[in-house]
Structure 1
Amino acid sequence: MMPINNLSTLSMVALNTSDPQQMRGIGTQLETLTGNSSTLSSEDIGYSSGIINKLTTVSIESHTGIINTMDKVKIFKSIVSTVNNIVKVEPGKIDPQFGKNISLNLETLATSFTGDGEEREDYGSILQIMEDGLSVVVGCPERPDQALAFAALNQGRELYLGPLDNFPDKESTLRVVIPSSALDIVPSGSALPPNQSQCQERQTSFIFYKSPILFQDDGLDKDTAVATAVVSANLGGPANEPLAGEPVTLTFQLSIDSTGAWLKPTCVYWSYGKGGWATDGCYLDTDVTDLMTNVVQCKCTHLTNFAVLVSRSAFKSSQPADKALSIITYIGCTLSAIALIGSMATIASFKAMRARRHNRIVFLLSMDMLLAIVFFVFGIRTATSSPNICTVIALLLHFLFLLMFSLTSLEAIMLYKQIVDIFGMFQGFTIKILLLLTAGVPFCIVFLAAAITKLSAHGNSKYCWITENGVFYGSFIAPMCVSLLTNIAVLVRVTVALHGHGSAVSSSIKTTNTSSVSYLLRVVVSLSVLLGISWLFGALVAVYDHLALQYIFAITNTLQGLGIFVHVSRDAEVRAAWRKSITSVLSQDTNSAAVHRSSSKSSRIALTLQRQSPHTSSFGTFRRSTASEQTTKSDTREDAGPPGDLPTPITLSEQNQSSVFILKAPSEGPNQQADSV
């Protein structure tokens, strides 16, 4: 066949011929003309779509004379290579109708390709074509008693088709598992139609599209897009035909980072009749789906082209949202850590504070939260390089957070007994039992979760935290919700008791304006922080992962430690103790300064008097003397001792001074004190 330089001419030639040899040449030239994807226009893609349609038609029609496998494989490879070139163009160049025609022809060709009934033992590939953007595998499973697995490994650079039991231990971009019940199409001993082999009846075909560019749905919301590769899976029967028995399982690796996304993924399939994505018969497997690792698992009751949709706004906003949330988290955790240290120091510094049972619980809660913050900030991501250390940190965080919930519930129970049920206070033995349960229940939950999952649910390559949704909801969210419901119930009951007349405590406090809204508001806010009510937003985020809830949860939760410090410092005994300590320190500083000033001044005065007047009283009283008194006083001073000695006590009084300084003599010690009156 003569070389053709443009796709429009090649299209005209293809439409007017059905010769097998010419069709092989047309396929080769089509592959060549589409080799430079950057130069392809929308018209070129339209011509290519028409040529592919003609090649597919010729390949599957028996009357054309293309009967040998070599011709079929050659045309098939040319089509796959051409489609691989087309999927690399810019999205705007492919008309949705052209994309639909190209994918439908490729799927039809893969489904109808049988290799002339060539048999394989066990699972075998009749045909495998791999390109950098597109791969096709046609297989023939001979043993329907085992589930069939197809996977794209190492970012699509490797393909696997075989028994699920022999699945390689490699990272997969996607995986399709067809149950054995769907493969058992022909019962043992049944007669097959003429010229049809057992392999042909159970033939499977898979097409792996790295890009979803051929599947453009005009009906999608502008904020929604395909976030995974697209996989076509067929058993040779009609598309969307219901499967017998169990559904097919599809596991996708999201092509975007979904850790900042707040919308749930949606499992979809491509409906050629609708010309877009649909959800009938497909659903999300929430037990396996883990957005923290970008893994989404779907189950569908039929076979066709599958993918996962997510919100475009979610992953466009993921990086700035992640950055903002990280900044809020680190700032809040730093402030809370400092505040928690202050709370523990306050309680430990005063004996009266340590003696109160409530404060001891707050001390334990502060210590637990401080440890959780330290492990969270320094370990939840930084320790992922060491799997063993990461698992230990995940287990510790799991336990510390559950212990925090347990301690807040214990505080709630004690608060209820103190304010509402004041005649039923716990005794010492009961308190010990409660403390044992407070620590024991979280430990048992973490131990059971680790034992059941064999530590596989704690820690992965991205986070040192719970990595399986079932474990996360069962061993973390559920206990958290129980604690929150308990604490909220106590908070409501205590608020009512303080506001009403039914409690003796509330009635005694009402004399200090307890009926005011501001007082009750302060009480509710303070107790809400202490009882960890801010974790209610965490429960809402787990159910409805909206960005606004994430911001509220990050702000309120990371500042919980600061709120506890405010709660502790508002205690009247704490304020009195701190005031006394601060006053004592300031008093010591003031006295020391006064002593220094007085000592210097008294030394200067004494030196001046010694130089100007040789007369002084034996009792050390200096005053202005008359001339007649100076002789007597001079005699007295001569008997008193050397002129440099200052007797005890020394009192200085001058008419032009408004203050009197009383000094202790040097003989009493070097530390002189002065009081200003």
Structure 2
Amino acid sequence: MSWYVTKAVIDTIDNVVGVLDENDITAEATASILSSLEHQIGTAAKDGQNLTETADTFALETKSLNTQSLTSDVFFLVAADDTASSCIDKSCQTKNSDLSIRLPKNILTGPNGTQTNLSFIVFFNDVLFPSETLKETNRSTSGVVLAATIYSTRPSHEITSETMVELVFNVPENLTSSNSKCVFWNETIPDWSELGCTTKSNKDNVTCECSHLTSFAVLMFRKTDEVDLPGRALSWISYIGCVLSICCFIVTIITLLSVKEIRQRMPQKIMINLCIALLLLDVVFVLGIDRPDTGSGSCIAVAVLLHYFLLVSISWTFVEAISMYFLIIKVFNVPGRKVWWTAGSLAWGIPLVVIVALYLSSKKFYTNEDYCYVDSSMGVFFNIFVIAPIGAIIGCNFVIFVMVIKKLFIRAPTLGKIATKTRKTKRKRAANAIAISLLLGLTWMFGFLSFKHATSTVFVVIFTVLNSFQGVAVFILFCVLRNECRQVWRSWFNAVRNCILPAERHTKRLVSDTRKGSDTNDISLSAMQSTSKTVI
């Protein structure tokens, strides 16, 4: 009798789903339909029925297993003709299927008794899973939803990284597996969520490994023949600018460190730390931002390092701004070395504490579906730990910038030649400090202006160009245009020339001696010939 009831429920739901319009159906209605279907299938499974049904909109199977004789993982396979079946033998792994679920045998063994009941469902469309997330993005599911449930007994083994549930989805021709994302249907939202799932993909298949059982799908982007030329151009500008900046940062750091008199000055110490932070930020960005294995451990490590060095760089711009304030505004109240050492320690240390605390509390923040970077979709975390600190520091830097400009160019002192000379020194120092504030701090204002602004594209271009070529600007302003740096390079050039010239001179001497010997031999030979002729 129970089989007839189950069959009637399946046919009814199949007919309803077949005529549903996803634009008209409500979340409450789909939740009710899913609940009815899952309840009836659960009843059949708990009764130990081995049921296999294939309808137009979905297929299902219930299975009762003797776990004592279970020697292999359990597979649920869906063929290209939409026929579904489960298998236990290892040979079933070689069967041709477009979709599959693998349940590790370790999670099927019950603590009381040896019988475990299972159910599998494959939905051939996602009408019963209306998602607001998909409506707001350019994504869609692959058109298939897979579900599995274990009944009767509590699994004796928790699902771990070694016993993850594995699902394989094929990639439809109109979709691309690039930046795909494995998700499950979270009934409490209700919407798709990626919590507990990792994604591995190639051009033909997407493999999901999940730590729980429910209804699963894969979110993908639609294929497009259009080429995003502006986006590609900005990417190339970013990479070229960062590579050039890396080279310039390296030369700048080596130059400043090579002379004791230069590296012992506090402004140069701040500059060196700022350059090191930006150098590391650019290196990690170039090598790791576009890693294909988004969501992996290495990709998360790249995201953590990028966030850390970003916060460190911004912190050092604030230290630079404070230094400029005391050097120009509060001339006679300059803090001692201990204060600057404390500020430097905080600039490196506070971001580290923030990153560690954030990683331990929400590792998901560093799992981005597109790049190895923080997940900007987590609005609260992104605003608190990225936007807020950058905005606060850039705001303070801008205030100091205005104060310095007012001090130097509006209320400049006129106290004779000494004051004039001092004023020139101040202006030169201020020009450098202002330049570094503009290039390494205030340029972030263009980044803020690019958020949901009518002319956001213009600000994005300006922001990308200025921040990508930071190292080049620093190199020009603080090395090329500074006489003491040019003297350092001149000394390097002379040292190299002195190493090369003695070898050249020695070579020339040998060549000259060889030529002289050759000339002597020629003269001797001519003399012998002349003597021979005379004798004859």
The alignment's TM-score, normalised by the length of structure 1, stands at: 0.44
In structure 2, the CA distance between the partners of 1:486 and 1:136, relative to structure 1 (3 Å rule), is: closer
**Equivalent in the alignment of 2:468:** 558
In structure 2, the CA distance between the partners of 1:470 and 1:172, relative to structure 1 (3 Å rule), is: farther
* Contact 1:484–1:536, Cα closer than 8 Å, also in 2: yes
* Contact 1:339–1:565, Cα closer than 8 Å, also in 2: yes
State whether structure 2 residue 465 is matched by structure 1 residue 478. no
Match of 1:494 among 404, 409, 414: 404
Deviations 1:155-196 (A, max 9, x none): 34227799xxxxx999999xxxxxxxxxxxxxxxxxxxxxxx
Match of 1:392 among 301, 305, 310: 301
- Partners of 2:508 and 2:257 lie apart in 1 by 37
Residue 347 of structure 1: SS of its match in structure 2? Answer: helix
In structure 2, the CA distance between the partners of 1:71 and 1:513, relative to structure 1 (3 Å rule), is: closer
- Matched residue type, 2:142: Q
In structure 2, the CA distance between the partners of 1:430 and 1:381, relative to structure 1 (3 Å rule), is: same
Q: CA deviation at 1:552?
A: 1.9
**Equivalent in the alignment of 2:365:** 457
**Equivalent in the alignment of 1:411:** 320
**Equivalent in the alignment of 1:374:** 283
Report the number of matched residues: 368
- Matched residue type, 1:399: Y
- Partners of 1:604 and 1:380 lie apart in 2 by 62
* Contact 2:328–2:426, Cα closer than 8 Å, also in 1: no
Residue 424 of structure 1: SS of its match in structure 2? Answer: coil
- Partners of 1:579 and 1:318 lie apart in 2 by 48
Q: CA deviation at 1:384?
A: 2.8
- Structure 2 gap ranges (5+): 45-54, 59-122, 131-138, 150-163, 175-187, 194-217, 524-536
Match of 2:344 among 426, 432, 435: 435
In structure 2, the CA distance between the partners of 1:504 and 1:542, relative to structure 1 (3 Å rule), is: farther
* Contact 1:412–1:531, Cα closer than 8 Å, also in 2: no
**Equivalent in the alignment of 1:333:** 242
**Equivalent in the alignment of 2:266:** 357
State whether structure 2 residue 486 is matched by structure 1 residue 578. no
Residue 532 of structure 1: SS of its match in structure 2? Answer: helix
- Partners of 1:594 and 1:535 lie apart in 2 by 55
Q: CA deviation at 1:367?
A: 1.5
- Partners of 2:491 and 2:37 lie apart in 1 by 95
Residue 367 of structure 2: SS of its match in structure 1? Answer: coil
Deviations 1:542-570 (A, max 9, x none): 56593332222221111111111112212
- Matched residue type, 2:356: F
Equivalent residues in 2 for 1:499-538 (5 A)? 499-502=409-412, 508-509=420-421, 526-529=435-438, 531-538=440-447
Deviations 1:205-261 (A, max 9, x none): xxxxxx9xxxxxxxxxxxxxxxxxxxxxxxxxxxxxxxxxxxx945469xxxxxxxx
**Equivalent in the alignment of 2:331:** 422
- Matched residue type, 1:562: V
In structure 2, the CA distance between the partners of 1:461 and 1:593, relative to structure 1 (3 Å rule), is: same
Q: CA deviation at 1:378?
A: 1.4
Deviations 1:305-350 (A, max 9, x none): xxxxxxx9xx997733332222111101100000000101111222
* Contact 1:416–1:490, Cα closer than 8 Å, also in 2: yes
- Matched residue type, 2:144: R
Deviations 1:554-594 (A, max 9, x none): 21111111111112212332233334554666688779878
- Structure 1 gap ranges (5+): 1-67, 88-102, 139-151, 163-167, 174-210, 212-247, 254-292, 296-311, 613-677
**Equivalent in the alignment of 1:13:** none
- Matched residue type, 2:404: V
* Contact 1:419–1:503, Cα closer than 8 Å, also in 2: no
Deviations 1:493-522 (A, max 9, x none): 22222213456899535876999xxx8996
Task: Report the RMSD for the aligned CA atoms in angstroms.
Answer: 5.5
- Partners of 2:339 and 2:129 lie apart in 1 by 68
In structure 2, the CA distance between the partners of 1:363 and 1:119, relative to structure 1 (3 Å rule), is: closer
In structure 2, the CA distance between the partners of 1:425 and 1:82, relative to structure 1 (3 Å rule), is: closer
**Equivalent in the alignment of 1:541:** 450
**Equivalent in the alignment of 2:253:** 344
Equivalent residues in 2 for 1:99-110 (5 A)? none
Q: CA deviation at 1:405?
A: 0.7
In structure 2, the CA distance between the partners of 1:424 and 1:456, relative to structure 1 (3 Å rule), is: same
Match of 1:323 among 232, 236, 242: 232
In structure 2, the CA distance between the partners of 1:363 and 1:452, relative to structure 1 (3 Å rule), is: same
* Contact 1:379–1:393, Cα closer than 8 Å, also in 2: yes
Equivalent residues in 2 for 1:32-431 (5 A)? 81=18, 129-130=57-58, 132=124, 135=127, 155-158=142-145, 249=189, 251=191, 319-382=228-291, 384=293, 387-431=296-340
Q: CA deviation at 1:394?
A: 1.8
In structure 2, the CA distance between the partners of 1:543 and 1:504, relative to structure 1 (3 Å rule), is: farther
Q: CA deviation at 1:391?
A: 2.3
Higher mean alpha-carbon deviation, 524-533 vs 324-333, is at 524-533
Residue 228 of structure 2: SS of its match in structure 1? Answer: helix
- Partners of 2:474 and 2:446 lie apart in 1 by 18
* Contact 1:416–1:494, Cα closer than 8 Å, also in 2: yes
* Contact 2:449–2:459, Cα closer than 8 Å, also in 1: yes
Higher mean alpha-carbon deviation, 335-344 vs 547-556, is at 547-556
Return the structure number with greater relative CO, CA threshold 8 A, min gap 6. 2
Q: CA deviation at 1:356?
A: 1.3
* Contact 1:336–1:560, Cα closer than 8 Å, also in 2: yes
Q: CA deviation at 1:403?
A: 0.7
Rg (Cα) greater in structure: 1
- Matched residue type, 1:488: F
Residue 456 of structure 1: SS of its match in structure 2? Answer: helix
- Partners of 1:462 and 1:368 lie apart in 2 by 25
In structure 2, the CA distance between the partners of 1:584 and 1:321, relative to structure 1 (3 Å rule), is: same
* Contact 1:376–1:397, Cα closer than 8 Å, also in 2: yes
The alignment's TM-score, normalised by the length of structure 2, stands at: 0.54
**Equivalent in the alignment of 1:466:** 374
- Matched residue type, 1:328: I
In structure 2, the CA distance between the partners of 1:412 and 1:159, relative to structure 1 (3 Å rule), is: same
* Contact 1:383–1:389, Cα closer than 8 Å, also in 2: no
Deviations 1:247-286 (A, max 9, x none): x945469xxxxxxxxxxxxxxxxxxxxxxxxxxxxxxxxx
Q: CA deviation at 1:374?
A: 1.6
- Partners of 1:562 and 1:324 lie apart in 2 by 19
* Contact 2:440–2:470, Cα closer than 8 Å, also in 1: no
- Matched residue type, 2:460: Q
- Matched residue type, 1:457: F
- Partners of 1:294 and 1:537 lie apart in 2 by 33
Deviations 1:8-54 (A, max 9, x none): xxxxxxxxxxxxxxxxxxxxxxxxxxxxxxxxxxxxxxxxxxxxxxx
- Partners of 2:279 and 2:429 lie apart in 1 by 29
